[in-house]
Structure 1
Amino acid sequence: MTRKTVRIAMNGVTGRMGHRQHLVRSILALREEGGLDLGDGTVLWPEPVLVGRREHALKALADRYGLQHWTTDADAVLADETVDIYFDAQVTSAREESVKKAIAAGKHLYIEKPSATSLDGALELARLAEAAGIKHGVVQDKIFLPGLLKLKRLIEGGFFGRILSVRGEFGYWVFEGGWQDAQRPSWNYRAEDGGGIVADMFPHWEYVLHELFGRVRSVQALATTHIPQRWDERGKPYAATADDAAYGIFELAGGTVAQINSSWAVRVNRDELVEFQVDGTEGSAVAGLRDCRAQHRSATPKPVWNPDVPATESFREQWQQVPDNGEFGNGFKVQWELFLRHVALGEPYHWDLLAGARGVQLAELGLKSSADGRRHEVPELTL
């Protein structure tokens, strides 16, 4: 085996997602496995270069994981010809400028979503990357999760017949930060800092719907701020200017209708933090992050509405677990592996900056719909 090193500048890994999912559970996990076997006698060895603004935080991460390379000088890293890939998990408001610099430096790109704060910005990044001839990708981790992979298996096997509707429920109670610490950074709740659940989650819903059920053709949404005041990391109160809940209806190509509720102000009464129920003429399924339950037409009960007597059936017990039938890796790590193979071998990869722009477009139109109370068509994007 020949070992080939790929150096990855990782900007934003001091944040929760960049640290846990991208650095530890993806790049460092690959290193623990001995690298990525490319299948041609070559093992790709990822070498992270930690980048950020807080020197003490970077040094602490490097010391914790035995890493040698870290810096607060992002420009110097981009000028380093030995660095092959630039990864960005910064706050969204800081992403566009950094990505433009990486494109100008000729680095391959792999970035968190949303790719930009506006559709114009997202499309500009996609066009610049294409013109530069670099390889580029946007994180779209949900479609690599076990529950949605099982759901995809049902779809591809024709289990549903004609798919009628998709209903999604996502969210949990994010503490305000006053009497219990919040589970999310305070910038998420300030519109001026790029926060808001629509900007965060609608890009996810776009690629989940697009990949599994069809392109989103229209959106009607209501976004709101249920909790108007929160407390930041220093214990100071601040006005929550960004939306913390959104209720959306999406019309998909082919006629399927999707309804997805997203909220950071909801208490969980479901098996997982996100669940999708898919109903079709031949069967239905409910998929979460890991599990998927199904009910075929032949096993569908025949309930009768009678509010005067208690229900005697346990409806949840009438669904069947969809088996794993295989091993599932961490969704973030799986997509990293695909992107690294794309860079090293040129293998097909369509989760690119144009796909990322579709997510930004849906969020932008969702907020517009909420503001004017109208349904909006979602034009198909091209470069």
Structure 2
Amino acid sequence: MNGVTGRMGYRQHLVRSILAIREQGGVDLGDGEVLWPEPVLVGRREDALRDLAERHGLTAWTTDLDGVLSDPDVDVYFDAQVTSARVDAIRKAIAAGKHVYAEKPTATDLDGALELARLAREAEIRHGVVQDKIFLPGLLKLKRLIEGGFFGEILSVRGEFGYWVFEGDWQDAQRPSWNYRAEDGGGIVVDMFPHWEYVLHELFGRVTSVQAHVTTHIPQRWDERGKPYQATADDAAYGIFQLEGGAVAQINSSWAVRVHRDELVEFQVDGTHGSAVAGLRNCRVQHRSATPRPVWNPDLPATFSFRDQWQEVPDNTEFGNGFKAQWELFLRHVARGEPYHWDLLAGARGVQLAELGLKSSAEGRRYEVPELAL
């Protein structure tokens, strides 16, 4: 597990996924067999790795990536490093014959992402990319509505994502400074457009075109040492995505917006038969048979709450951590060859959309999104 000293690698992948799987007794493969993941922590900072290992009772850690990749007892390579370091490390892992699971984006450009997908196919290894948003309770409920035909014909999707990331001068920033340096692989487009690609692709259909406006609202920030630096990467993006089948999606992404919604990300889906608003955990609906007749009258105050006219979708099941759920599916894929389509080619689609989004903004035009194939 390379990159576990970072926020996402540690919290979601090590603690809430791999260690949580161990706490539950492993992954039940059926027929009395259980898969027990044994993590090897990899990174550049020896002290940080030693501290993590001791904190969680682990014994295997190293700063020698080449050495651990040559270990025949290691089956899977996982990468949660900064994006700029990911391609070389995954390339080494594939050459060593390891199965690969990686955070997204898988590369800083489409050529690099496609190269990894080709190398993995040629090496006949099993490979996957983290696509955690589709495992969130709110989006699982939304998927249930889609599969049940609730919406009729889906017309549009409106997404709002973001929150205020402190600049770092008077309050510590909640995101690392490299996120705001383009030269280090930072930027909200390369971070979030890969998410929007798989969410849209999985739920509503392939993205066929993109038009985006990308900007840097906060030009100066302060790093982890309290030193000011210029933000060279974008911190907000406003995208319009045409989807296969005719629906249109509009998604705003910003690290410079104050939250006035129920959750940090929300998607409103409008269809001919009904609408829904889904967040990380919750989902509310309004069917056409229960849609009020709104009247525009700016001279009178509203005497009711529009939100109260919507119905909450029940859980009807227990939802676990989305990262952990996908880890379990990937480990079953490695151990049993069970179907798994969130692979490195799917990861390349996310890189492609981010690349075209940045190009669209720079040139002020809409771009078609070609279908990828190896």
Query: Is this a same-fold pair by TM over 0.5?
Result: yes
Query: Could you tell me how far apart the structure 2 residues matched to 1:373 and 1:281 are?
Result: 32
Partner of 2:309: 318
Task: Say whether 1:280 aligns with 2:267.
Answer: no
Partner of 1:37: 28
The partner residue of 1:368 within 355, 359, 362 is: 359
Give TM-score scaled by structure 1 length: 0.97
Query: Could you tell me how far apart the structure 1 residues matched to 2:19 and 2:305 are?
Result: 45
Q: Give, in angstroms, the shift of residue 156 of structure 1.
A: 0.3
Query: Could you tell me how far apart the structure 1 residues matched to 2:315 and 2:174 are?
Result: 31
Task: Say whether 1:199 aligns with 2:187.
Answer: no
The partner residue of 1:80 within 64, 67, 71 is: 71
Query: Could you tell me how far apart the structure 2 residues matched to 1:73 and 1:120 are?
Result: 27
Partner of 2:91: 100
What does 1:1-383 align with in structure 2 at a 5 Å threshold? 10-383=1-374
Query: Which SS does the other structure have where 1:328 is aligned?
Result: coil
Query: Could you tell me how far apart the structure 2 residues matched to 1:379 and 1:308 are?
Result: 49
Query: Could you tell me how far apart the structure 2 residues matched to 1:19 and 1:316 are?
Result: 37
Give TM-score scaled by structure 2 length: 1.00
Can you list the C-alpha shifts for 1:277-297, whole angstroms capped at 9, x where unaligned?
000000000000000000000
Query: Could you tell me how far apart the structure 2 residues matched to 1:191 and 1:306 are?
Result: 47
Structure 2: state its 5+ residue gaps: none
Q: Give, in angstroms, the shift of residue 306 of structure 1.
A: 1.0
Letter in 2 for 1:30: I
Letter in 1 for 2:172: D
Query: Could you tell me how far apart the structure 2 residues matched to 1:308 and 1:215 are?
Result: 44
Partner of 1:4: none
Letter in 1 for 2:285: A
Q: Give the count of matched residue pairs.
A: 374
Can you list the C-alpha shifts for 1:211-264, whole angstroms capped at 9, x where unaligned?
000000000000000000000000000000000000000000000000000000
Letter in 2 for 1:316: R
Which segments of structure 1 move beyond 2 Å, counting only runs of 4 or more?
Answer: none
Query: Could you tell me how far apart the structure 2 residues matched to 1:129 and 1:154 are?
Result: 35
Q: Give, in angstroms, the shift of residue 358 of structure 1.
A: 0.2
Can you list the C-alpha shifts for 1:328-366, whole angstroms capped at 9, x where unaligned?
110000000000000000000000000000000000000
Query: Which SS does the other structure have where 2:281 is aligned?
Result: coil
Q: Give, in angstroms, the shift of residue 58 of structure 1.
A: 0.2
Query: Could you tell me how far apart the structure 2 residues matched to 1:337 and 1:373 are?
Result: 42
Identity of matched residues, % = 85
Query: Could you tell me how far apart the structure 2 residues matched to 1:218 and 1:311 are?
Result: 39
Query: Could you tell me how far apart the structure 2 residues matched to 1:34 and 1:133 are?
Result: 30
Q: Give, in angstroms, the shift of residue 309 of structure 1.
A: 1.1
Q: Give, in angstroms, the shift of residue 40 of structure 1.
A: 2.1
Query: Could you tell me how far apart the structure 2 residues matched to 1:193 and 1:344 are?
Result: 35
Q: Give, in angstroms, the shift of residue 312 of structure 1.
A: 1.4
Query: Could you tell me how far apart the structure 2 residues matched to 1:356 and 1:38 are?
Result: 26
Q: Give, in angstroms, the shift of residue 313 of structure 1.
A: 2.0
Query: Which SS does the other structure have where 1:304 is aligned?
Result: coil
Query: Could you tell me how far apart the structure 1 residues matched to 2:68 and 2:82 are?
Result: 19
Query: Which SS does the other structure have where 1:83 is aligned?
Result: coil
Structure 1: state its 5+ residue gaps: 1-9
Query: Could you tell me how far apart the structure 2 residues matched to 1:356 and 1:164 are?
Result: 26
Can you list the C-alpha shifts for 1:151-188, whole angstroms capped at 9, x where unaligned?
00000000000000000000000000000000000000
Can you list the C-alpha shifts for 1:100-131, whole angstroms capped at 9, x where unaligned?
00000000000000000000000000000000
Letter in 2 for 1:153: R
Query: Could you tell me how far apart the structure 2 residues matched to 1:329 and 1:38 are?
Result: 18
Query: Could you tell me how far apart the structure 1 residues matched to 2:308 and 2:268 are?
Result: 16
